[in-house]
Amino acid sequence: MKKITLVFLSFLISVTAFSQPFIDLKNTSSTSVLYALSFASDSVGLAVGTGGEILRTVNGGTTWTKSSSGGVTELREVTFTDATTAYAVGLNGLILKSVNAGSTWSPLTSGTSEHLFGLSKIGNDIYVDGPNGTMLKSSDAGANWTPLTTGTGLNLYGNHFPDANTGYVVGNSGVMLKTIDAGAHWNTLTSGTSMQLVSVFFTDVNTGFAVGGNTGTNTGVIMKTTDGGAHWTTTTIPNLYFGKVKFLDANTGFVVGGSVIGNTSSIYKTTDGGVHWELQLSNSSRQVGVFAPSFNVAFTCGLDGTILKTTGIAPCSSHSSDTTHVVVYDTIHVPITDTLMININLLGINLPNLGYIKVYPNPARDHIYITNDNFALFSGYSLKIINSLSQEVYTGLINQQSIFIDISAWSGKGLYVVYILDANNNTVDVGKIVLK
């Protein structure tokens, strides 16, 4: 395969940490919407989605095989409860259980025909939720399920229990419920939003996050509380919708989603407990699920059967007090902050017979040039540029020696990510330009 070196002229600001991009594994042989992931270890994991799809890996995502769910009922969530036991839930009250790490599955009697969306486990208790305020609990490994009274008729989409007694569930119209007695009673919290909330995660009984958005306006929301849900701070982001939030510890977590309209991926990472969210490099369909079994590796899943992977989840960079600060990482793992001062940085491997693709000036104000002396060698290769909201602002073939791009109409200053794609639409290299 041809290799290209991108040249971006810029000023280096920081080398305090390293981060890997999320790479589309392109090996699932699936076209389903994959809603959720769970891993028993860095190697053994499951993904579930539409059409009763269950994918299983035993080698950290290198390969995925299909396991039979026994039907085509859509699955919405999956979780490992130990190294070999896993549960999955889906539409029409479907609950499945595996005792051999997802190789085979058996249906359980849920006692409901309601769709089931959320699934979590704490100790011996398993909780699932769904439409019309549905909430079920099992304390005997799924043999029996008890309906819980939530006090709402709204659809519920996700729940999480930071300890055996304290739990939270979120849903339509910004509904948030809390229990402090293991689900026996639920109290309504004031979220301050009317947006659909689809995922919730608490790092302790007081500090938690909820995400979702409005698909009609393509607006995403990230919410945070530090007082057990009594008060929430809300951040809305246009042209995005978030599907899942997960944390590894009190500081390190991920939020995944993307554009509903453009079907593009957006993955954000925090290493300071949600004070800053840093956009991670990805180039895929909209992502819906995320799971990080350890600080070694993280996976996301989403539309078109996509599963993305990154490695080396280490603290990323130092931050100022700016709570909207975003850091984007390039493929040689040198972080660049969202200022207009970055230093000379060469990406990829220079092959003398192919030469460089040059992008300049950088930073730029109203135009950029893309030049390549050997453009004739790259038949079918293309260049794509997206902004920090994962919106595509330019795409075109690399079919001439010099390409002039007028960027004066691009809205928003800051970082733009440049992708070089081969004739099969695979990402060959990635870099950044800055609009000032």
DSSP result, 317-379: ----S-TT--EEE-TT--EEESSS--EEEEES---TTT-EEEEESSSBSSEEEEE-TTGGG-T
Q: Could you tell me the residue ranges of all domains in the chain?
A: 5-12+333-435, 23-315
Contacts of 225 (CB under 8 A, 6+ apart): 206, 207, 208, 231, 232, 233
| Neighbour tally for 137: CB within 10 Å | 17
If you ran DSSP here, which 8-state letter would residue 281 be given?
P
Give phi and psi for 177, each to the nearest 5. -125, 150
Predicted confidence at residue 294, as pLDDT, reads 94
Q: Confirm whether 5-12+333-435 and 23-315 share one CATH topology.
A: no
Q: Report residue 375 CA to chain centroid gap.
A: 35
For the chain, 436 residues long, give each residue's pLDDT as a single digit of tens: 444 445 443 322 222 233 568 989 989 999 999 999 999 999 999 999 999 999 999 999 999 999 999 999 999 999 999 999 999 999 999 999 999 999 999 999 999 999 999 999 999 999 999 999 999 999 999 999 999 999 999 999 999 999 999 999 999 999 999 999 999 999 999 999 999 999 999 999 999 999 999 988 889 999 999 999 999 999 888 888 999 999 999 999 999 999 888 888 989 999 999 998 888 878 789 999 999 999 999 999 999 999 999 998 865 444 433 333 333 333 222 232 222 222 222 233 233 344 567 777 877 878 887 776 666 676 788 888 888 777 888 888 888 777 888 888 887 777 788 888 878 887 777 777 888 7
Q: How close are the terminal C-alpha atoms of the chain, in Å?
A: 35
The predicted structure's pLDDT at residue 197? 98
CA distance 413 to 23: 26
Q: Which of 179, 183, 185 is nearest to 205 (CA)?
A: 179
Record the pTM.
Answer: 0.73
Q: Which two tokens stand for residue 65?
A: 């095989």
* DSSP single-letter state for residue 110: -
| Structural contact between residues 384 and 430, judged by C-beta atoms closer than 8 angstroms | no
343: Cα separation from own chain's centroid: 29
Task: Report pLDDT for 339.
Answer: 23
Any idea which fold 5-12+333-435 has?
Answer: Immunoglobulin-like (2.60.40)
Q: Which CATH architecture has domain 23-315?
A: 7 Propeller (2.130)
